Structure 1
Amino acid sequence: MAHPSQLGFQDAASPVMEELLHFHDHTLMIIFLISTLVLYIITAMISTKLTDKYILDSQEIEIIWTILPAIILILIALPSLRILYLMDEINDPHLTIKVMGHQWYWSYEYTDYEDINFDSYMIPTKDLTPGQFRLLETDHRMVIPIESPVRVLISAEDVLHSWAIPAFGVKTDAVPGRLNQTTLIATHPGVFYGQCSEICGANHSFMPIVIEAVLLEHFENWSSLMLQDA
């Protein structure tokens, strides 16, 4: 989860988020180089004879400032298109979970099991136990096995919501009457927090999302207990 004074992204918990972090660093370096070049040109124009009319009207300069931005756009577009493809690709998921947004809570249904479904509400501040996080903890967590492709089907019951987990690089709109889908793969065990990222009403800020990634054998034990309780 995020921590005080944090400037960068949360640590990646999925291959897609790792790719997004690499793309962010790649693009940031390009922006840094562009800013440095522009600053150098401005400084040179002020302090040297770079403002000579023959230099400013040079055809070579016009060719450079036309071709150079095109090359920069290609360097940004190619990796971004690759990541978009990876985010949309859903190949043979091991588990499918349907997520429904409500005002103001989430409900989860494990479609591969007959009776595993539950609602997930935020735990009020007065009911928190030591070590739990205010406005982020829920009474029921979405549990998934690690290193397994999970397909998440997302929709909403009433208004627009957005199911977002920063550590997984996932942010998908929940639209009433429409079923969107995304995929995620947890690379290591842990508890990961997110929130609704769409302004969906008065209690918009009280729709946390908690994903608990566990080993496969622990997930099987959890699913067995859920089926027994059902």
Structure 2
Amino acid sequence: MKRIVGSLGALPVLLMAGAAFADQPRPWEVTFQPAATGIMGQITWFMHYTLWFIVPITLLVLFLLAYCILRFRASANPTPSRTSHNTVIEVIWTVGPVVVLLFLAIPSFQLLTAQYNPPEEPKLTVKATGNQWNWDYEYQVDQPLTFNSAILADKDRQAAGKSDLAVYPRLLTVDNEMVVPVNTTTRVLVTGNDVIHSFAVPAFGIKIDAVPGRMNETWFKADKEGLYYGQCSELCGKDHAYMPIAVRVVSEAQYNTWLAAARTDLGGANKALMAEIDAQRNVASAAH
């Protein structure tokens, strides 16, 4: 009985550990990554919602094409009709699409509005500057923190403690992740330093261009701790495919500890944070 109670007590940690590294591309993935923000949840809902219109319309058009091909082929209809128009049909194919578009447009505009209007004033602002082919992050806090984030070479994985490909996938792992607290509205100011880049994290439902000389703004509020991956999504040169984005979402206490240490020793702060997260995961696995 004690063992069962202990396992149940560890369940939240297990769920956190299980979900922590789930948000990354998968082979043959045909749907969105699991939502880690409310906005991404709305995007996923809207995708499912539109399928209720797309699938029936596609089947209807397929049926009409097949019917016309068979019913009005030359051998079955040697004397074609000379009808020039049909008022009923013209009204149906005019009014029908208008109604469908209204059902799609209203929730679409609502989602678009939500994407650009955070429900509360952001508590954290991070400036992301795209370079060929890495990102600079500037934390706009009382004592600003600035660092560069670039793809991690395979030869440097072991030294960085990122040898586990399941957690740190090849071509997506970076040397320094953006670290943010969970359940915190985070504003991201995005710009480019040389050419146009694009800051995109699928699990957060954000994608915004980084244009030189222009400051674009997006936001997210991650509701699950974990490590989330994205990539530059605007063709920006020969190493465009090697410009990943990694955002580590942690508890507020872990974030505050990391931020204080990162100002003087970024590498040490990252390793200490990783060690704490690994220890939590190991405890959860042992309890399970």
TM bucket, shorter chain: over 0.9
TM-fit CA distance, 1:108 = 0.5
| Corresponding position of 1:109 | 138
Please report the TM-score for the alignment, with normalisation by the length of structure 1.
Answer: 0.92
Tell me which amino acid in the other structure corresponds to 1:13: A
Cα distance in 2 for partners of 1:208, 1:99 equals 13
- Aligned partner of 2:39 in structure 1 is 16
- 1:91-119: CA deviations, max 9, x gaps? 30010001111111101011013131111
Report the CA distance shift for 1:55/1:220 in structure 2 as closer, same or farther (over 3 A).
farther
Say yes or no: does 1:67 pair with 2:95: yes
In structure 2, what is the equivalent of residue 130 of structure 1? 164
- 1:38 matched to 2:72? The reply is no
Distance in 2, Cα, partners of 1:222 & 1:43 = 63
Whether the 8 Å contact between 1:151 and 1:182 is mirrored in structure 2 is yes
Matched, 1:173 2:201: no
- Report if the CA contact (8 A) 1:158-1:176 is conserved: yes
One-letter amino acid matched to 1:58: N
Q: Which residue of the partner structure matches residue 28 of structure 2?
A: 5
Higher strand share: 1
Q: For structure 1, which runs of at least 5 residues remain unmatched after alignment? A: none
Return closer, same or farther for 1:45/1:148 CA change in 2, 3 Å cut-off.
same
Q: Percent identity?
A: 38
Counterpart residue type for residue 93 of structure 2: W
Deviations 1:141-178 (A, max 9, x none): 00011111100001111111111111111111011111
Map of 1:196 onto structure 2:
232
Question: Which residue of the partner structure matches residue 121 of structure 1?
Answer: 150
CA distance in 2, matches of 1:169, 1:54: 52
* 1:125 and 1:135 in contact (8 A); partners too: no
Q: Is the 8 A contact 1:107 1:118 kept in 2?
A: yes
Change (3 A) 1:13 1:56: farther
Q: 1:42 to 1:203 in 2, by over 3 A?
A: closer
> What is the identity, as a one-letter code, of the residue corresponding to 2:194?
D
The structure that is helix-richer by fraction is 2
Paired residue for 2:127, among 87, 98, 101?
98
Say which SS state the counterpart of residue 176 (structure 1) adopts. Answer: coil
Distance 1:194 1:57, change over 3 A: same
CA distance in 1, matches of 2:96, 2:146: 54
Deviation at residue 41 of structure 1 after TM alignment: 2.6
Unaligned runs of 5+ in 2: 1-23, 158-162, 267-288
CA contact (8 A) 1:161 1:197 kept: yes
Larger Cα-atom Rg = 2
Q: Contact 1:13/1:188 (CA < 8 Å) preserved in 2?
A: yes
C-alpha deviation, 1:57, in angstroms: 3.8
Alignment length, in residue pairs?
229
SS in 2 for 1:171: strand
